[in-house]
Copies of this chain bind each other. A is one copy, B any other.
Protein backbone atom coordinates (compact mmCIF):
# COMPACT_ATOMS: atom_id res chain seq x y z
CA UNK A 1 0.00 0.00 0.00
CA UNK A 2 2.85 2.42 0.77
CA UNK A 3 4.93 3.51 -2.19
CA UNK A 4 8.67 3.81 -1.78
CA UNK A 5 9.89 5.86 -4.71
CA UNK A 6 13.50 7.00 -4.66
CA UNK A 7 14.39 10.41 -6.08
CA UNK A 8 16.09 9.11 -9.23
CA UNK A 9 13.07 7.13 -10.39
CA UNK A 10 10.50 9.93 -10.01
CA UNK A 11 9.62 11.65 -13.29
CA UNK A 12 7.94 14.96 -13.97
CA UNK A 13 4.31 14.18 -14.71
CA UNK A 14 4.11 11.19 -12.36
CA UNK A 15 0.66 11.19 -10.80
CA UNK A 16 -0.84 9.61 -7.70
CA UNK A 17 -4.45 9.69 -6.59
CA UNK A 18 -6.51 8.40 -3.68
CA UNK A 19 -9.81 8.81 -1.89
CA UNK A 20 -9.88 10.74 1.40
CA UNK A 21 -12.82 10.23 3.74
CA UNK A 22 -14.04 12.94 6.11
CA UNK A 23 -16.85 12.24 8.57
CA UNK A 24 -18.23 13.65 11.83
CA UNK A 25 -15.91 11.50 13.88
CA UNK A 26 -12.83 12.95 12.17
CA UNK A 27 -14.20 16.46 12.70
CA UNK A 28 -14.61 15.70 16.40
CA UNK A 29 -11.10 14.24 16.66
CA UNK A 30 -9.60 17.17 14.78
CA UNK A 31 -11.29 19.57 17.18
CA UNK A 32 -9.67 17.72 20.06
CA UNK A 33 -6.24 17.54 18.42
CA UNK A 34 -6.10 21.15 17.31
CA UNK A 35 -8.02 22.77 20.13
CA UNK A 36 -9.96 24.76 17.54
CA UNK A 37 -13.47 25.10 18.96
CA UNK A 38 -14.73 27.50 16.32
CA UNK A 39 -18.48 26.82 15.94
CA UNK A 40 -18.37 27.05 12.14
CA UNK A 41 -17.12 23.46 12.14
CA UNK A 42 -19.38 21.90 14.77
CA UNK A 43 -22.50 24.03 15.26
CA UNK A 44 -24.86 23.61 12.33
CA UNK A 45 -27.15 26.44 13.41
CA UNK A 46 -24.22 28.84 13.48
CA UNK A 47 -22.91 27.61 10.11
CA UNK A 48 -26.36 28.17 8.55
CA UNK A 49 -26.55 31.64 10.11
CA UNK A 50 -23.31 32.38 8.25
CA UNK A 51 -24.79 31.24 4.93
CA UNK A 52 -23.52 27.66 4.65
CA UNK A 53 -25.78 24.65 4.10
CA UNK A 54 -24.01 22.67 6.81
CA UNK A 55 -20.90 22.74 9.01
CA UNK A 56 -17.74 23.67 7.16
CA UNK A 57 -14.97 21.08 7.50
CA UNK A 58 -11.78 22.43 9.12
CA UNK A 59 -9.41 23.44 6.31
CA UNK A 60 -6.52 21.79 8.08
CA UNK A 61 -8.50 18.56 8.41
CA UNK A 62 -8.89 18.58 4.63
CA UNK A 63 -5.17 19.39 4.39
CA UNK A 64 -4.31 16.41 6.60
CA UNK A 65 -4.73 14.44 3.36
CA UNK A 66 -1.50 16.06 2.14
CA UNK A 67 0.38 14.15 4.81
CA UNK A 68 -0.97 10.96 3.28
CA UNK A 69 -0.37 12.11 -0.29
CA UNK A 70 3.32 12.62 0.44
CA UNK A 71 3.88 9.94 3.08
CA UNK A 72 2.00 7.08 1.42
CA UNK A 73 1.83 7.87 -2.32
CA UNK A 74 4.39 10.33 -3.71
CA UNK A 75 7.08 9.59 -2.84
CA UNK A 76 5.75 7.42 -0.01
CA UNK A 77 7.98 5.92 2.63
CA UNK A 78 11.06 8.12 2.05
CA UNK A 79 9.05 11.36 2.12
CA UNK A 80 9.91 14.37 4.25
CA UNK A 81 7.78 17.46 3.63
CA UNK A 82 9.67 20.77 3.43
CA UNK A 83 6.80 23.14 2.69
CA UNK A 84 3.15 23.27 1.69
CA UNK A 85 1.05 25.96 0.02
CA UNK A 86 -2.68 25.31 0.29
CA UNK A 87 -5.57 27.25 -1.19
CA UNK A 88 -9.03 26.49 0.17
CA UNK A 89 -11.08 27.27 -2.93
CA UNK A 90 -14.53 26.19 -1.75
CA UNK A 91 -15.96 25.08 1.59
CA UNK A 92 -15.76 21.33 2.21
CA UNK A 93 -18.93 19.65 3.48
CA UNK A 94 -19.19 16.12 4.86
CA UNK A 95 -22.23 15.46 2.65
CA UNK A 96 -19.97 16.04 -0.40
CA UNK A 97 -17.20 13.75 0.80
CA UNK A 98 -15.09 11.70 0.27
CA UNK A 99 -12.61 13.85 -1.60
CA UNK A 100 -10.52 12.71 -4.54
CA UNK A 101 -6.92 13.79 -3.88
CA UNK A 102 -4.45 13.93 -6.75
CA UNK A 103 -0.78 14.91 -6.85
CA UNK A 104 1.34 15.43 -9.95
CA UNK A 105 5.10 15.92 -9.98
CA UNK A 106 5.81 19.33 -11.51
CA UNK A 107 9.49 19.79 -10.84
CA UNK A 108 12.61 18.03 -9.61
CA UNK A 109 15.44 19.92 -7.93
CA UNK A 110 18.61 17.86 -8.34
CA UNK A 111 20.67 20.06 -6.00
CA UNK A 112 18.45 19.56 -2.98
CA UNK A 113 16.92 16.24 -4.03
CA UNK A 114 13.40 17.61 -3.69
CA UNK A 115 10.30 17.41 -5.83
CA UNK A 116 7.49 19.92 -6.27
CA UNK A 117 4.16 18.15 -6.13
CA UNK A 118 1.05 20.03 -7.27
CA UNK A 119 -2.17 18.79 -5.76
CA UNK A 120 -5.91 19.15 -6.23
CA UNK A 121 -8.90 17.84 -4.28
CA UNK A 122 -12.38 17.35 -5.71
CA UNK A 123 -15.61 16.68 -3.84
CA UNK A 124 -18.37 14.28 -4.93
CA UNK A 125 -19.94 17.05 -7.07
CA UNK A 126 -16.62 17.21 -8.93
CA UNK A 127 -15.98 20.70 -7.55
CA UNK A 128 -12.33 21.55 -6.93
CA UNK A 129 -12.27 22.48 -3.23
CA UNK A 130 -8.55 22.68 -2.59
CA UNK A 131 -5.32 23.04 -4.53
CA UNK A 132 -1.71 23.93 -3.99
CA UNK A 133 1.78 22.56 -4.02
CA UNK A 134 4.28 20.89 -1.72
CA UNK A 135 8.04 20.63 -1.72
CA UNK A 136 9.11 17.20 -0.59
CA UNK A 137 12.53 15.71 0.17
CA UNK A 138 13.72 12.11 0.22
CA UNK A 139 15.21 10.30 3.23
CA UNK A 140 17.51 8.05 1.24
Contact B139 A72 (CB under 8 A): no
Given the complex of chains A and B, what is the CA–CA distance between A1 and B79 in angstroms? 37
Q: Which 3 A-B pairs have the closest CB atoms?
A: A38-B71, A34-B64, A36-B67
A81 within 8 A of B: yes
Interface residues of A (CB under 8 A from B): 1-2, 20, 26, 29-30, 32-41, 50-51, 56, 58-61, 63-68, 71-72, 76-77, 79-88, 132, 139
Contact B67 A84 (CB under 8 A): no
Q: How far is the CB of A11 from chain B (nearest CB, A)?
A: 22
Q: How far is the CB of A139 from chain B (nearest CB, A)?
A: 5
Contact A35 B139 (CB under 8 A): no
> How many copies of this chain sit in the oligomeric assembly?
2
Q: A67-B60, A86-B83 are in contact. Are A72 and B35 (CB under 8 A)?
A: yes
Contact B2 A37 (CB under 8 A): yes
Given the complex of chains A and B, what is the CA–CA distance between A56 and B132 in angstroms? 23
Given the complex of chains A and B, what is the CA–CA distance between A88 and B139 in angstroms? 15
Q: A67-B58, A72-B35 are in contact. Are A83 and B77 (CB under 8 A)?
A: no
Q: Which of B20, B36, B132, B139 contacts A71 (CB 8 A)?
A: B36
